[in-house]
Structure 1
């Protein structure tokens, strides 16, 4: 039973470390966009004179999702590098 508790603790520690790395990567982004709520855009297009193209919202949201996925993959890669080294993350420092 002690082994299971240790594995659970390691999982929680790793998840917390991944979260910290991801938040740090997000903070470094200057132009990180949020996804559009398509309902609001359909009801209130920016320019009433132009015909609204809903596929543009889908394309934009897909691009935003890919950006977030890239940040998550980067965080996982950085975590793996930290795991391969002897590390101690505390107060934003690696020692």
Structure 2
């Protein structure tokens, strides 16, 4: 029972560390975009501009998702490297 409790605590610590690393990576991004919901494109069928083209909105959102996935993968890789070196990253500093 004690082993499961320790594993759960380790999981929470790792998850927290991953979040910290991910937030740090996001803060470094200068032009990080948010997804477009495309509501205007579907409400106004007469408007055929590129800005409200549903296929363009989907492509735009896919690029944004890939960027976030890349950030998450980078955070996981950095966490694994830090863990393998047994670093402590409390207070945003590696010690």
1:79 partnered with 2:79: yes
Contiguous gaps of at least 5 residues in structure 2: none
Measure how far apart 1:54 and its partner are.
Answer: 1.1
Measure how far apart 1:49 and its partner are.
Answer: 7.2
Question: What's the C-alpha RMSD, in Å, of the aligned pairs?
Answer: 1.9
Cα deviations across residues 14-52 of structure 1 (Å, max 9, x unaligned)? Answer: 00000000000000000000000111344469xx57475
1:3 partnered with 2:40: no
Higher normalized helix content (fraction of residues) = 2
Q: Which residue of 2 aligns with 1:26?
A: 26
Higher mean C-alpha deviation, range 19-28 or range 82-91: 82-91
Corresponding pairs, count: 93
With the length of structure 2 as denominator, give the TM-score of the two structures.
Answer: 0.89
With the length of structure 1 as denominator, give the TM-score of the two structures.
Answer: 0.89
Q: Assess if the C-alpha contact under 8 Å between 2:41 and 2:53 holds in 1.
A: no
Contiguous gaps of at least 5 residues in structure 1: none
